[in-house]
Amino acid sequence: MDVHLSMLDIYITYREQAINHLQTAYGAVLIDSINTANYPASLIIKQIVADIEVSFIMDIPFNFPDAFPKIRLEEQSYEKVYPIPHLSKYKKLCLFDDVEASPNPKNPIGLIEEVIKKTRDILSKGILKQNFDEFIDEFDSYWFEESYDRYLSLVEPSDEIKKVYLVPCFLKMQPKHSGVFADTKSQAIRWIVNAGGLPKEELATEALYVPLKTQMLYPFPNNNKDIYQIIKDSKISNTKEYFSYLDKCPRPSKILFSMEVDDKIAWGVWEHRKPNKQIISLYKGWKRNQKNLNGFRNQSQNSLVELIRDYPNLEINKYYVEDIRPSRLKTRGGDGNTSYQGKKVVVIGCGAVGSHLIQGLFDLGVQQMLLIDPDELSFENINRHLCGADSVGLYKTVAIKKKFQRHYPTCQIHFYNYDVMQFLIQFPKGLNSYDLIISAISHTPIEQRMSELQQQGVITPPILNVWVEPYLAAGHAIWQNSASGVFFDSLFDTGKYKYQVLKSASQYTQRELGCNTSYVPYGVLELKKFVMEVVIFIAKQWEQQQSESIAFTWLGNLTEQRRNSSLLENRWVGASDFSVRHYKLENPKESTEKHDI
């Protein structure tokens, strides 16, 4: 059976049923579709809604009933009822939220009836002005429809008017956005550069941010007089700064504003145009353009006179603003937890383990890092490293920085392409401004040395040493707090880690031809599982703010290890696959052997 033809026949059958029902029940008339590929059938339907005859067009999608039909108003009907909530200037009605509502494909006729019912409900409430408060729910959409251009914003909302900066730019991935607003010019420039864009620094300007304390009512402001009334009613303590700014700023003047809507923040920009209006003489009917304030010298500015007396009806320009603050993106595309955005982390060792830990930290919300690694990325690394073939030949730190700055343009990543001990010789206290130091180098002498420096007070933040065993039979992490007095080497006996899982783990190390070609074999899928558990462990440590040192062990697929005749240490012989153990450590001995799974 041809699956394509079978599916096509099914959709055609359902579509014909819908058309027949609409023609029979509502006297609908087939018309030419404006998009036959996506909406192969369109029908015009006439209804009496709130004592008004309204004609609307139902566009039936190609995959009906797996998708909702769309509704748009016929031209004359649109002129009768516009503006009403949920009706765009493109004559389309917004009926269902695709996230909250889903069509029932088992009841195609019921689906048609529900669409008509929803259409009538929205039109009726709009015509009778019963839902005008819903205009504010779709503020972004209506502001966007009247916008001349689009901008991005990193500005943090505040309770008072403040100066901000606008940096025009070209963004290859978002050419429709003309610039970035930010609290500082350098912040905007850094974001643009990190995102692979081209900032136009010579065109950067100051702008003003205004936090509106009350919601705009529909119809939304359209001229200087409307804006004056909004500022007057805004109840902002430093309102005078608005007019003071306009007195000094040449026109056109852009104003970035924010407004709370149902515990969310809506953003936009209005722009005061250059004064200009046509004056017709009452005596002879002569026409002239007025571009200055009456009674003031040329080019003089007095914003109150301009907005209230001389140019109250001068239209403002509107611009759409997309909020790209990390806290907002974390809420929109995550769980809303922004408590880790202020954390600063050092990652020593940017190989496979380190690179995936860095990804996990960014997923957690960390924005500031220092990366330390002297090695370049090679083709041998890329199968399990976060960076790929396009980064081979770059220092691992640089490759990771480039990757993450494109993904998270607000992040701040510094790097040092030498050994960590060289860093500490140059900057003995250089790591102490960070909240956590992660060592993913699996090099015991360096890890012991850093542990000693921590106990001596040279290094003050917690240190997390992370490494894996061959085939990822297990992965380990040791969280060391200086206050606990635990030394890293106290957990090793003649080079063997106390909680090691594989007996004689070194015998599983592989090597290729040549010098210094040994490597520990393990797969990237198991690595990601381990790293996820480590990141969760880090988050818990930050939340609990404990001063203890803790040993963490993640057990991999031990069943597979047994099947391959790999020998396990006695304590792990009966352990479960993919489980976790935590051990609280004390000096000189561990306080307990209890663990959680």
DSSP characters over 159-215: SS-EEEEEEEEE-SS-TTEEEEEESSHHHHHHHHHHTT-EE-GGG-EEEEEEEESSP
What whole-number distance in Å separates Cα of residue 231 and Cα of residue 233?
5
DSSP classification of residue 133: G
- Reduce the DSSP state of residue 52 to 3 states and report it: strand
Alpha-helix runs per DSSP H in 27-107 = 75-81
Q: What angle do CA 318, 322, 325 make, to 5 degrees?
A: 135
In terms of C-beta density within 10 A (0-12 exposed, 13-18 middle, 19 or more buried), how is residue 146 classed? Answer: middle
Domain spans, the chain: 3-130, 141-324, 339-585
- Reduced to 3 states, what is the DSSP secondary structure of residue 6? helix
pLDDT reported for residue 597: 35
pLDDT of 596 reads: 40
Strands 147-153 and 317-323: parallel
Token pair of 411 as six digits: 């992040």
Task: List residues bridging with 395 in a β-sheet.
Answer: 376
Cis status, amide bond into 83, omega within 30 of 0: yes
| The one-letter amino acid at 78 | Y
List, in order, residues 6 or more apart from 303 with CB less than 8 Å away.
Answer: 242, 243, 246, 247
Task: Please name the residue ranges forming H helices in 254-373.
Answer: 303-304, 326-332, 352-364
Distance from chain centroid for Cα 504: 45
Residue from 332, 329, 327, 357 nearest 342 by CA: 327
The number of residues in the chain equals 597
**Cα–Cα distance, 369 to 363 (Å, whole number):** 13
Q: What is the pLDDT along the chain (597 residues), one digit of tens a residue?
A: 455 558 889 999 999 999 999 999 999 999 999 999 999 999 999 999 999 999 999 999 999 999 999 999 999 999 999 999 999 989 999 999 887 889 999 999 999 999 999 999 999 999 999 988 888 888 888 899 999 999 999 999 999 999 999 999 999 877 788 999 999 999 999 999 999 999 999 999 999 999 998 888 888 999 999 999 999 888 888 888 999 999 999 999 999 999 998 888 999 999 999 988 766 665 556 666 777 887 777 777 899 999 999 999 999 999 999 999 998 888 887 777 888 999 999 999 999 999 999 999 999 999 999 999 999 999 989 999 999 999 999 999 999 999 999 999 999 999 999 999 999 999 999 999 999 999 999 888 999 999 999 999 999 999 999 999 999 999 999 999 987 778 788 888 888 899 999 997 677 666 665 565 566 788 899 999 999 999 999 999 999 987 889 999 999 999 999 998 889 999 999 999 999 999 998 765 444 444 443
> What CATH number does the domain located at 3-130 have?
3.10.110.10
Beta bridge partners of 414: 370
pTM of the entire predicted model: 0.82
The CATH architecture of the domain made up of 339-585 is: 3-Layer(aba) Sandwich (3.40)
The span from the CA of 357 to the CA of 534, in Å, is 8
Phi/psi of residue 279, nearest 5 degrees: -110, 130
Phi, psi of 49 (to 5 degrees): -125, 120
Contacts of residues 418-421 at CB distance under 8 Å and 24 or more positions apart, as own/partner, are 418/372, 418/374, 419/374, 420/348, 420/372, 420/446, 420/450, 421/446, 421/449
Output the CA–CA distances (angstroms, integers) from residue 501 to 471, 535, 570, in the order listed.
Answer: 11, 21, 9
Partners of residue 256 on adjacent β-strands: 209, 269
**Residue 201 has which token pair?**
């620094």
